Amino acid sequence: MTEPQSDTFEADVLAGLSAMPKTLLSKHLYDEEGSRLFEEITGLEEYYPTRTELGLLTTAASEIAAYISPGATLVEFGSGASTKTRLILDAAPQVAVYVPVDISEEALAAAAASINADYPKLVVAPLAGDFTQALELPAQAQGRPRTGFFPGSTIGNFEHADAVAFMASARRLLRSGAQFVVGVDLVKDEGVLVRAYDDARGVTAAFNLNLLTRMNRELEADFDLQAFRHCAVWNGEESRIEMHLVSLRDQTVHVAGRAFGFAEGETIHTENSHKFTKEGFERLAGEAGWRTLRCWISPEPAFAVFLLAAD
């Protein structure tokens, strides 16, 4: 654990709601209910990234496995339900230690228990915490060659400078000689993108609005969930889908003893999901010291899996 998440949640929320425009860090979408709702999103017809990446990893797994050293530690950043991991573990039985890293403690514990039960020879050493902070791997992971895994295009949830900083810190953690498997969503038709983040059943809306429920419960806030709506928009200049919560009227909301005014139509910006070109991501990874060994790209809706190396 890097820091108690409850402390940083309150400080981040108060800073974000005091900013102009109002913003909240997307890592706070993942309390227990947020992680459950994200898993529901992964099964939606409109949310193409999960099934597309699973298809690519199924094709690529044996080739990726050939690069992984015997006795290696596999470190996964933002592991969630650890579903995609199984494709790597099945193809690479030489992996000795698995370190799933996630901020969502309940989701992490459930995924670690499930992997433990299904891979009895594997040492599973979960790390609860924020992967944007300095991480120290558990003792079981020490003294072994390292492979990183960062699926789901979670890299897209960072701003550019933060994405480069994350890739550089992963490079330091994984060390020279490491491989890094990264899932990256690619630029595509705006309608496909907006539907993926504003699905007909309203699961993504519930995922976004759950942040208000979380603040009501954990920070003694008084958000009226009927007074905000979910909105997903494509920002072409920044090449990203943005999620916002839009205030439906002029209102004042209290959070942790502080009052925040909202005008009708004012938004809280809750998530960015950047979409890349192959060359753009390679440039970003290159700035952080990673070289592309292999890249698999699906037919439309296009998604990429990169196998990177740290020399």
Q: Which residues bind ligand SAH (CB under 6 A)?
A: 27, 30, 35, 38, 42, 50, 78-80, 84, 101-104, 107, 130-132, 151-152, 154
Q: Residue 235: helix, strand or coil by DSSP?
A: strand
Nearer to ligand AVI, 204 or 267 (CB): 204
Query: Any contact of residue 24 with ligand AVI (CB under 6 A)?
Result: no
Shortest distance, position 155 Cβ to ligand AVI, whole Å: 8
Q: For residue 140, what are the contacts with CB-CB under 8 A and spacing of at least 6?
A: 73, 97, 123, 125
Shortest distance, position 247 Cβ to ligand SAH, whole Å: 25
How many CB atoms neighbour CB 94 within 10 A?
12
Task: Pick from 79, 179, 204, 247 the residue near ligand AVI by CB under 6 A.
Answer: 204
Shortest distance, position 50 Cβ to ligand SAH, whole Å: 6
Taking phi first (over 0 means left), then psi (-120 to 50 degrees means alpha), and beta for anything else, what does residue 148 get?
A: beta
Residue 305 pairs in a beta bridge with 183, 296
Q: Are 104 and 129 in contact (CB under 8 A)?
A: no
Q: Are 133 and 6 in contact (CB under 8 A)?
A: no
Nearer to ligand SAH, 88 or 212 (CB): 88
Binding at 147: pick from ligand SAH, ligand AVI, none (beta carbon under 5-8 Å per type): none
Nearer to ligand SAH, 111 or 178 (CB): 111
Nearer to ligand AVI, 185 or 282 (CB): 185
Q: Residue 97: helix, strand or coil by DSSP?
A: strand
Q: Residue 200: helix, strand or coil by DSSP?
A: coil
Binding at 271: pick from ligand SAH, ligand AVI, none (beta carbon under 5-8 Å per type): ligand AVI
Residue 273 pairs in a beta bridge with 241
Nearer to ligand SAH, 148 or 151 (CB): 151
CA 52 – CA 304 distance, rounded (Å) = 9
Alpha helices of the chain — where are they, by DSSP H? 5-18, 32-42, 48-67, 85-91, 105-118, 160-174, 190-196, 203-218, 278-287
From the list 58-66, 67-75, 150-158, 283-291, the region that binds ligand AVI by CB under 6 A is: 150-158
Shortest distance, position 78 Cβ to ligand AVI, whole Å: 7
Query: Any contact of residue 271 with ligand AVI (CB under 6 A)?
Result: yes
Size of the site for ligand AVI (CB under 6 A): 11
End-to-end CA distance of the chain: 29
CA 116 – CA 152 distance, rounded (Å) = 22
Binding at 204: pick from ligand AVI, ligand SAH, none (beta carbon under 5-8 Å per type): ligand AVI
From the list 3-11, 85-93, 148-156, 163-171, the region that binds ligand AVI by CB under 6 A is: 148-156
Nearer to ligand AVI, 65 or 186 (CB): 186
Q: Are 17 and 268 in contact (CB under 8 A)?
A: yes
Interface mask toward ligand AVI for 87-106; x: CB under 6 A: --------------------
Q: Residue 95: helix, strand or coil by DSSP?
A: coil
User: Given the rule CB under 6 A, which residues bind ligand AVI?
Assistant: 41, 49, 152-154, 156-157, 197, 204, 271, 273
